[in-house]
Structure 1
Amino acid sequence: MTAHPADLSPPSPPHGEFDHRIAAPATDDAFLAVALPFLAEGLAAPQEPPPVAIAAPAKLDLLRDALGADAKDVGLVPHTDWYTGSAANAVARAAGHLAAHAGPGGRIHLLMEPVWNGRAGRSPRESAEWIRYEALANLLFAPTATTALCVYDTRTAGSALLAAARRAHPDTEVYEDPLRLAAELDAVPLPPPPPDALRLPAEPAPDAVRAWAAGRGLGDADAGLFATAVTEAASLGPVAGALLWGEAPGCVCELDLAHRVDDPLAGFVPPPAAALEAGQGLWFARQVCAYVDLREIPGGGTSVRLQYGLSNGPQHGHQHGLRYG
């Protein structure tokens, strides 16, 4: 979905004090030089629980050694335990942690470093999804008083990923309006469906989608999740047409909606209920699919493309809702 200039004014949620920072260390010493003061700031902040560092195990070892006795007062989480799938899963993981552990208004210091030489930085496609998350985080977490430091180790993150990420962080001189940056990502065309894609009736039946996915190699549980994700996306309808293609794990469904979906945060805002369940629309779809892409259709419609899985794909069961207190 391509946003028009008139659509680029950000929504107006109640604003807290969300502080979204970026650091780009190139050595272990440089990492400690930014991490230790940040964690000390969190330890000294009033009305806050202990700060949390989410990073590679080797970085956590560095922090333990440098913190010494203070290490017991800092949460140390391996990044593969936090970043378990898609960028939308990262939204859910952060939202769940704030709901369960943050202080009043979402107060907490989080040092965050995904696996840059893994899923988040493995390809331009996945890097783009990560930058979308970084940009929209400025809106999604605006009501909170959370302080987040995003670490991009230049030894693994790569210069292109870092340059894009800087545009998503307000503490840089190249910060871009989140909706404008998201619209730029949405302007990149998706590959066309293959000629042999299966065309479905306007409203795809869940049983038909489940049976097709199972026939393309998805296991029963995954086929059921994919079918439910398609149903949840179709609830945005009316649906003017649908296509299915691909093989497990990358089964794809594309729905053509008869109207525009103008909300750039559609499917990213955590629902009130903590559990992942039917009835959550695009939130459900984004949590169980590797990619959910929205594109404007000439004439006023919207295509919604859902790709179910990839290697290192979404890990179901870690999703949580968020309530701001």
Structure 2
Amino acid sequence: MTAQSDATATAAAPGAFDHRMSVSASDEAFLAAALPFLAEGLAAPEEPPPVAIVAPDKLDLLRDALGADAKDVGLVPHTDWYTGSAANAIARAAAHLAAHAGPGGRAHLLMEPVWNGRAGRSPRESAEWIRYEALANLLFAPTATTAMCVYDTRTAGSALIEAARRAHPDSGVYEDPLRLAGELDAVPLPPTPADAETLADPAPDLVRAWATGRGLAAADAELFATAVAEAASLAPVAGALLWGEAPGCVCELLLARRLDDPLAGFVPPQTAELAPGQGLWFARQVCAYVDVRQAGTGGGAGTTVRLQYA
């Protein structure tokens, strides 16, 4: 079997987020990229042991190849790390660095999302993960973390891999993260169904009751209603629509002002208590999709926020 690997050994400037990409079509090509990366992490000063977050079969390959050195490397099944949405993965990475990284966020992370599971189950879901890859360049820019994202052509399709190259600075086709995110936001959302229910006031008790009536369990309805309330707290609400059945309940809010920050809801809060304006962080952690689109033009322009629970 032919193999391809385009990992780079070129490190970023000291103190900068070093975001690399490795593409492989065989176990041998995966190891050819992964082993030098982990060795680099083991030799890096002021760093904790490197961590490999990859498919379970790849962990077995690494254990065999590392031999006695395997005890010095963190080995995490990617099904234990990537357990939800792309926003959940950002939160997981931020929490890991806060708890375990060396000075300035120094750490080596070998990372492979579950492309043959949730992350690759639909073009829309895959687009969310490309957005995650692109925005990671901004979200983790202040850290000295070195991350190499593993793409296996046997589980990640060619279109997904080509899109991911645009989110990695070492690929040769890297795009500005905001430009790439803007392209994803330019793709029209599924149309609002004709039978969507209108709410003049998306109060939590009303959204909770509606979601329960559509089949969400009480705990899920509570989370969904809270997510809607957090998003609604960002600006006066000019209108709200609800549709769908459990688990895919949807609420679309029309906010009476523009939300121009492309990182809104992606920047991890510094404390457990959300500050004003951080409501989208909670919403992104709870919902499978939170889509933000500018609505209208001129002085009366607003923002549409669509939240889909699952």
- TM class by smaller structure: over 0.9
How do 1:54-203 residues align onto structure 2 when only pairs under 5 Å count? 54-201=53-200, 203=201
1 CA distance for matches of 2:76 and 2:205? 40
Structure 1: 5+ residue stretches without partners: 1-14, 310-325
- Assess if the C-alpha contact under 8 Å between 2:208 and 2:224 holds in 1: yes
**Contact 2:111–2:150 (Cα < 8 Å) also in 1:** yes
SS of residue matched to 1:24: strand
SS at match of 2:263: coil
Distance 1:280 1:232 in 2: 8
Q: Secondary structure at the match of 1:76?
A: strand
Distance 1:175 1:279, change over 3 A: closer
Determine what percentage of the aligned residue pairs are the same residue: 83
Deviation of 1:280 after TM superposition, in Å, equals 3.9
1:262 is aligned with what amino acid? D
Note if contact 2:234-2:277 (Cα within 8 Å) is conserved in structure 1: no
Q: Distance in 1 between matches of 2:275 and 2:93?
A: 18
Higher relative contact order (Cα pairs below 8 Å, separated by 6+ residues): 1
Q: Aligned partners of 2:273 and 2:85: how far apart in 1?
A: 17
1:215 aligned partner:
213
Choose the corresponding residue for 1:236, options 231, 234, 237.
234
1:243-294 Cα deviation digits (max 9, x unpaired): 0000000000000011110000000000012478998400000000000000
TM-score, length basis structure 2: 0.93
- Structure 2 residue identity aligned to 1:242: A
- The alpha-carbon deviation at position 191 of structure 1 amounts to 1.2
What are the superposed Cα offsets for residues 167-207 of structure 1, whole Å, 9 maximum, x if unpaired? 00000111000000000000001111111101001x31100
User: How far apart are residue 296 of structure 1 and its match?
Assistant: 1.0
Q: Tell me which amino acid in the other structure corresponds to 2:101.
A: A
**Superposed displacement of residue 230, structure 1:** 0.1
Are the counterparts in 1 of residues 231 and 280 from structure 2 also a CA contact under 8 Å?
yes
TM-align CA RMSD: 1.4
Determine helix, strand or coil for the equivalent of 2:28. Answer: helix
1:308 paired residue number: 309
Q: Are 1:35 and 2:20 matched, yes or no?
A: no
Secondary structure (helix, strand or coil) at the match of 1:125 reads: helix
* Contact in 2 for aligned 1:18/1:141 (Cα 8 Å): yes
8 Å contact from structure 2 (residues 264, 278) kept in 1 = no
Residues 48 and 108 in structure 1, CA contact (< 8 A), matched pair in contact too: yes
| Partner SS for 2:75 | strand
Partner of 2:190, secondary structure, is: coil
Secondary structure class of the residue paired with 2:206: helix
